[in-house]
Amino acid sequence: MSEGRKSKRTTLGQISVLTFMFCAGQASVGSLIPGASSAALAISSSEDQVLSRWKQTAESTSMGAALLQILNDCNRSLAINSLNARASFRRGYLFGILGCTYSAISDLSRTIAITPSDSRAYTERALCYMDLRQYDRALVDLNRALQLQPNSGNARLARARLALATGRPQWAIEDLRNCQGGNVSFEVELPGEYSANHYNAVSYYLGTAYEAMGQTGPAISAYKESLKIADPTPGYLHRYAEQPGDGKQRLAHLQHSQPLARGL
């Protein structure tokens, strides 16, 4: 299992019979959800190879074994009840971490069809779209996630990253400042998972946004804040959490260029 793609999201997720009867014809919700009757694991050959490689090493650590158990539990739950939204979401979350992006999108789309109010599923699917560089789709999902849960730090930070990736630093700054508000929370989904702001990513991205806009002073302050020591709580998964690797270099460059700019 990979423990850290630095400037993207990184690492591993997944696991009530939900039957709604409609007055007209008493149709079940499953008949209205594409693929609901076949929610048992269906994965492409390339993604199957990724999954197989992970399974071969997962049990070598206690956390890996726990995640493998979650995946197996999800597969069993979905084989019994394809409308199990929790199992569908957690399996999609795990697929997204592993890099099985299309399988993740499939499970998360099913989750949204079953539970349209699940903001986490929109956020997670948006991250998958971002991995595929499908930025328009990612933005639609993140906007919806924040309509449903305005205090989601995960969705707000993801939308800020998306704004930076598409050349809109001013939009990023608004979301990042909101992330620093007391009402915003960064939730985790799995055992051993770091929160999205564990490594002060909000401050780092504020620095990059200010730098992109030529605001050197605020950028320096934000980079300094981002370099503060992270919480030493043991963990291992970096689904939303990022550990930017170039904060020191960016700070040093700006500090070096600032006096030069004054002398011009």
Tell whether the model's pLDDT for residue 8 goes beyond 70: no
> What is the C-alpha separation between 261 and 258, in angstroms, rounded?
5
Q: Please give the residue that has the higher pLDDT: either 158 or 258.
A: 158
Check if CATH label 2.30.300.10 holds for domain 132-264.
no
User: Mean pLDDT throughout 221-249?
Assistant: 81
Which pLDDT score, from 0 to 100, does residue 238 have? 74
Residue 184, phi then psi, degrees to nearest 5: -85, 135
Q: Which one-letter DSSP state was computed for residue 230? A: P
Tell whether the model's pLDDT for residue 15 goes beyond 90: no
Domain boundaries, the chain: 1-116, 132-264
Which pLDDT score, from 0 to 100, does residue 237 have? 72
pTM over 0.75: yes
> What is the C-alpha separation between 240 and 195, in angstroms, rounded?
7
b (16+ CB within 10 A) / e for 41-58: bebeeebeebbeebeeeb
User: Mean pLDDT throughout 28-47?
Assistant: 56
The answer to whether the CB of 90 falls within 8 A of the CB of 189 is yes
Neighbours of 209 (CB within 10 A): 26
Question: Tens digit of pLDDT for each residue in 212-224?
Answer: 999 999 999 999 9
Question: Tens digit of pLDDT for each residue in 244-260?
Answer: 889 999 999 999 887 65
* Token code pair at residue 45: 């050959």
